[in-house]
Amino acid sequence: VQPPEKPLQTEEWNRLRESFQAPEIFEEVMFNSMIRYNSSIDVAKSLLTHMAKSNSDIGYNLLVKYLALCVQQGKTSEICDVYDILKMRFKTLESGAYNLIVRGLSNSDQWRKALTLLEEIKKAMIPSRANYESCIKAACRHQEMTLACELYHEMLTKDLVPTLDILQTFFDYSRGMKDPELQKELFGILLYFRENQIYPHKTLMRSIKLWFESIPGENWRGHLTNITNSGQCPVCSHQLEDSELSEDEYNRLSERIIRDVIHGTDTFRKTSPQEFEAFQTFVENRLPFDIVIDGLNVSHIKPRKLQCENLFEAVNCLAKNNARLLVLGRKHMLVNSSNWKREIMKEMQNKADFFFAENISEDDAFLLYATLRSGKRCKFVTRDFLRDHKACLSDSLTRHLFRKWQRGHQIHIMESLKTSLFVCFFILQPAFSYDIVVQTTGDTWHIPYKDVYEEKYSYRVPRKWLCLHRKY
Amino acid sequence: MQSANMLLKKLVRYSVFPFAVQHGMKKDLFSLSRTLILSHCLKEGSSRSPSEKLDLDAWKEVMKSGSQEVSATASEPKETSTLAAAREILEMWRLAGRLVPENVTEEQLKTFIECPSKSAKKKFLKFLYLKELHKKSEKRKTEERKERRLEMQESASKTEEPKRNPFLCLWTSSMDKIYNWRVAQSMIFGQPLVFDMSYEKDMSDREVANTVRQLVLSESCNRRSVDPFHIHFCNFKDDSLYHKEFIKHYREAWGKLLITVTDQCYTDIFPKNKLIYLTADSPKVMKTFDHDKIYIVGSMVDKSIKTGVSLAQAKRLGLETAALPLEKYLLWSRGAKNLTLDQMMHILLTLKDTGDWKKALEFVPKRKYTGFVNKPVHELKTALNLINALKLRKRQGELRKQFAKNYSKKLTQK
C-alpha cells in the first residue's frame, strides 16, 4: 500500500481500511509504508487521531512506529510528546523505543535530554552501543569532550565494543584543540587499536591524520606509505617493531596450544595420548628444526602433478642452507600407491625428518607443537589459514598472540604462474619480519590501515601505513 | 495559482486516484476529489486544505487521558524483583511485536534470565513462542476434530448403531500383546543394539530432551517391527538428565519397558571384537549388515556439529568403527551426514530384515539427497553439476524476472 499524500478524515480512513485485504493489520502495514515512503507526519497524525477516536486506544507497536517516523524526519517536539505519552501509559519501555528516542533527541538541540534518558535506560537494562554512540556523538558535536570521554569509558567498562564511528567522531571533533587531557584520551584510543589488533579504515585514518596535523605547536606531519619486507618506513626511515613474541607471551602461547588445540576437551578427538607422547619424544630427540612442513597440504599445490612430486619439489626448494626440516604426514603416505611412490619418499627421507601420524589424526596440531617447541626462529609451511585452530583457543588475548605469531612464522607456498623449468618451482611468501600493528616511539606513530570499510578476511593484513612524525 | 493547481493535480494523481482505480470505486471517489479541488480553489490564498479541520493532535489528548496499561503493572508480589522486571520486559517486547510467548512460566523466566547473551535470549524466546503457537494450533485442531466426531456420531445414531468400538479396542490390546511377545523374544534370542548414553556432558539441556524424544521414537518403531532388536541403554546413570527426560515421556511405563538399561559400559557386557561403533566420522564404510555383530549408536544430538566426539569415544575404547555408505548409494546434496536416532533405527531394522541398502536408505530425509546412485559415480556427478549449473542459471533468470516485475511495479506506482 502506498500511504496517502495528505491527512485524511475519519471516513476516508475507514474506507481505506475496509478496502484493504486484511483490516486487522491495516494500521501496522500503513505505518510501515509511511516509514518507507517517508510520508509527512501529518498523515500519520491523522491516522492516529482516527484510531484514537474510533477505538480510543493505540497499541505500543504503532506508537513506536510513529516515533520511528518522527525520528526519521527529526521532529523533536513530537518525539518528546510521544515519549511523554509512552511514559504515562507504560511502566517501562523496551529497547527499540529507547533507541529511537535517544537517537532522535541526540540529533537535536535537546541532546541533553538524551543523556537523562540514558540514565533511565541504565536502570532497566544495559544500554546498547548504539545508545552510547548517539550520546557520544551529540556530546562531541557540542564540544563537550570530557563528557564524551566519560561516556566512552563507561561504555568500555560495560564490555561494549565501541564502533569505529564513535572513535572517528572523537578525532574529528578534537581537531585543533590544545588540551593535554584530551590528547591523552586519543592516544589511548590508538593504543586500544594496538591491543585489539584493529586496523582503521581509510576515512578513519584520514581523520587521525588531520587531527595529528592540527595539534597546535607540535608540528606533526603525516604521510601515506607502503612498507616493504625489510620493515623500514620509507618516509622517516624508522624501523618497525619486530614480530617476535616476548618470552612470557611465547610460553603462554605454547602452553595454550597444547592445552586447547591438541588436547581440547578430549585428546582422542584429534590424536591419542600414545601417539602424542610418541610425537613428543620424536620431536625432543631431534630439536631444533628450522622449518616444519605440513606434508599433505603442500602435496596438493599442483593438482596435475603427483602428490609426492609436489612434496619433493617443496622439500628441495626449502632444503637450501642446510636448514633442518621436519615434514609431517600421515601413515597412508608410506603405502606405495599411484600418488605416493616409495622411491621418492625414500629419497625425501634423506633430506628431512618425517613424522607420520595415524590416518585419522589431525596433523595440523602437531605442526603447531613442533614449530613452537623448536623455538622462535623456526618457521612453518602450509597454505592453511589455521582458523579452526585459532578458534579452539579460549580467550581473545591468546588468539591475538596466535595471530601475531602466525604472521611472523608462517611461510605461504604458492604455485608459480610461470612454470619454467629453470626457475624455482614455487613462490615462497615469507613471513613478516615486522609486526603489523599500531606502534609509536613518542615522536613517531605508524598506523596500518585498510583500504575498504569492511575487511572480510581475518588472516589478511594491511600493507598500507600512515606514517606520522614530528618535525623540529 | 499556477503552483496551487500543480499541487492539486499532484494530489489527485497521487493520493486518491490510485486507490480509486485499485478498488474500482473510480466514480465515487473522483467526485469526492473534485469537490476537494473546488473547495481548495475557493479558499486559495488562505492556504488551508480541508483536512486541516482535523485536529491532528487530538489523539494525544485521548492517549493521555487513558490510564496506565494494566498488563504492564500486573506483577505478582510473590515474584522477586528481577523476575518481575524480566516479566515486564517480556511484556513490552510482546507489545512491540517481537516473537515472545504469551504465557511464560516462572521456570522459563529463570532460564531466560540466565541466558548469557542478548541473542541467546532472543533465540530462547522465539523457541518458546513457536512452541506455544504449535500447541495452540494443535489444540484448535483437536477441538475441531472432536466437534466433527460428535456431529458424525449424531448423524450415525439417527440411522443405525454399529458396535465397532469394543472390537477395535480388543484389536489394539491384542496387537500390543503380540508386540510385547516379540520384544520379549528378542530380549532372549535377539540381536543386541546398543545406545551409548555417555554424551550428556556434550549436550545442552534442549539437545538431551531431543535425544530422548528420538530414543522414544526408536524404541516404539523397534517394538512394532517383525524382528526387533534387543535394545541396550549402556552407560546409563540414574538421576541423570536422560533419566528425568525418559520419565517425563514414559511415566510409569518406564519400569516396564522391554529393554535393558544398565550403567555398565558395553565393553563390559559384550566381547570387544564383536562391537562396531557407528559414527559418521568413521573412515571405514559399512558394506553389509552383520547379524553376529553388536552395533553401537551414540545417543547424541549435536546441533553444533561437534565433529569426532563419538569417534574419539570409539578410539579410546579401541573399538571398530563404521559409517553408513551414504556416499556410495546416495547422491548427497546438502545437510550433515549424521542422522537422527530414529532414522538410524529404521535403517538398521530394514537392513536386518532385508539386507537391501536401497530400501534401508529410503529413511534418509529426502531433502538431504537428490537421488539414488544407479549409474557410475562420475557420470552422475557430471549430471549433478549440470543440474546445479542449470539451477543457478534458472535462479538468475528468476532474479532477473523478479527485478523486472519490481521495476515495472515501481513505474506504475509513479
In order of their start, the domains of chain B are: 89-154 (no CATH), 167-369 (3.40.1280.30)
pLDDT of amino acid B247: 92
A355 pLDDT more than 70: yes
Predicted-complex ipTM score: 0.78
Contact criterion met (CB < 8 Å) for B66 and A8: no
CA A105/CA A93 separation, integer angstroms: 16
Contact criterion met (CB < 8 Å) for A92 and B56: no
- Cell numbers representing residue A298 in the block: 603442500
| A192-204 mean pLDDT | 89
* Residues of chain A positioned with their CB less than 8 A from the CB of B96: 60-61, 64, 94, 96-97
Note the pTM of the prediction, 2 decimals.
0.75
* Residues of chain A positioned with their CB less than 8 A from the CB of B22: 19
- Cell numbers representing residue A374 in the block: 623448536
Contact criterion met (CB < 8 Å) for A269 and B308: yes
A443 pLDDT more than 60: yes
CA B333/CA B385 separation, integer angstroms: 11
C-beta separation of A271 from A364 below 8 A: no
Contact criterion met (CB < 8 Å) for A52 and B58: yes
Q: Would strands A444-449 and A439-440 be described as parallel, antiparallel, or unpaired?
A: antiparallel
* β-sheet bridge partners, residue A292: A326, A380
With CA atoms as reference, the chain A residue closest to B71 would be A90
pLDDT, tens digit, 9 for 90 and up, residues B278-289: 999 888 899 889
A418 pLDDT more than 70: no
pLDDT of amino acid B19: 45
Cα of B313 to nearest chain A Cα, Å:
7
Confidence band for A395, pLDDT divided at 50, 70 and 90: confident
In order of their start, the domains of chain A are: 247-411 (3.40.50.11980)
Most A CBs within 10 Å, among B63, B65, B112, to test the A interface? B63
SS3 assignment for chain A? CCCCCCCCCHHHHHHHHHHCCCHHHHHHHHHHHHHHHCCCHHHHHHHHHHHHHHHCCCCHHHHHHHHHHHHHHCCHHHHHHHHHHHHHHCCCCCHHHHHHHHHHHHCCCCHHHHHHHHHHHHHHCCCCHHHHHHHHHHHHHCCCHHHHHHHHHHHHHCCCCCCHHHHHHHHHHCCCCCCHHHHHHHHHHHHHHHHHCCCCEHHHHHHHHHHHHHCCCCCEEEEEEECCCCCECCCCCCECCECCCCHHHHHHHHHHHHHHHHHCCCHHHCCCHHHHHHHHHHHHHHCCCCEEEEHHHHCCCCCCCCHHHHHHHHHHHHCHHHCCEEEEEEHHHHCCCCCCCHHHHHHHHHHCEEEEECCCCCHHHHHHHHHHHCCCCCEEECCCCCHHHHHHCCCHHHHHHHHHHHHHHEEEEEECCCCCCCCCCEEEECCCCECCCCEECCCEEEEEEECCCCCCCCCCCCCEEEEEEECC
C-beta separation of B369 from B337 below 8 A: no
pLDDT of amino acid B76: 46
Question: Looking at the complex, does the CB of residue B70 fall below 8 Å from at least one CB of chain A?
Answer: no
- Cell numbers representing residue A444 in the block: 613517531
Contact criterion met (CB < 8 Å) for B64 and A56: no
Distances (CA, A) of A350 to A268, A279, A312, A345: 32, 19, 11, 9
Contact criterion met (CB < 8 Å) for A124 and B96: no
Q: How many CB atoms lie within 10 A of CB B74?
A: 11
pLDDT of amino acid B24: 44
Cα of B182 to nearest chain A Cα, Å:
40
- Cell numbers representing residue B141 in the block: 485442531
pLDDT, tens digit, 9 for 90 and up, residues A279-305: 999 988 887 888 999 988 888 877 777
CA A229/CA A237 separation, integer angstroms: 13
Q: How many CB atoms lie within 10 A of CB A229?
A: 11
Q: Which of residues 288-327 of B touch A (CB under 8 A)?
A: 307-309, 311-313, 315-316
Q: Which of residues 71-100 of B touch A (CB under 8 A)?
A: 72-73, 85, 88-89, 92-93, 95-97
Most A CBs within 10 Å, among B23, B54, B82, to test the A interface? B54
Q: How many CB atoms lie within 10 A of CB B312?
A: 23
Contact criterion met (CB < 8 Å) for A269 and B312: yes
Q: Flag residues of chain B having pLDDT under 50.
A: 1, 11-52, 70-78, 414
* Residues of chain B positioned with their CB less than 8 A from the CB of A268: 311-313, 315-316
pLDDT of amino acid B28: 44
Of A2, A48, A269, Cβ closest to residue B59 = A48
pLDDT of amino acid B74: 44
| A459-472 mean pLDDT | 84
Q: Would strands A439-440 and A379-381 be described as parallel, antiparallel, or unpaired?
A: unpaired
Of B56, B69, B96, Cβ closest to residue A7 = B56
% of chain A exceeding 90 in pLDDT: 24
Q: Which of residues 352-411 of B touch A (CB under 8 A)?
A: none
Contact criterion met (CB < 8 Å) for A5 and B69: no
> Whose CA is closest to B286, among B344, B210, B233, B229?
B344
pLDDT of amino acid B66: 63
Confidence band for A420, pLDDT divided at 50, 70 and 90: very low
> Whose CA is closest to A253, among A106, A103, A406, A101?
A406
- Cell numbers representing residue B275 in the block: 562391537
CA B223/CA B258 separation, integer angstroms: 9
CA B112/CA A442 separation, integer angstroms: 49
pLDDT of amino acid A130: 92
Instruction: Count residue pairs from A and B with Cβ separation < 8 A.
Output: 121
Of B10, B25, B283, Cβ closest to residue A360 = B283
pLDDT, tens digit, 9 for 90 and up, residues A216-257: 888 899 999 988 878 888 888 888 888 788 889 889 998 888
Q: Grid cell 551414504 — which residue? A: B326
pLDDT of amino acid A170: 94
* Residues of chain A positioned with their CB less than 8 A from the CB of B312: 266, 268-269
A9 pLDDT more than 60: yes
pLDDT, tens digit, 9 for 90 and up, residues A444-458: 999 999 887 666 666
Q: How far apart are the first and last CA of chain B?
A: 25
Please give the biggest Cα pair distance in chain B. 103
Contact criterion met (CB < 8 Å) for A85 and B14: no
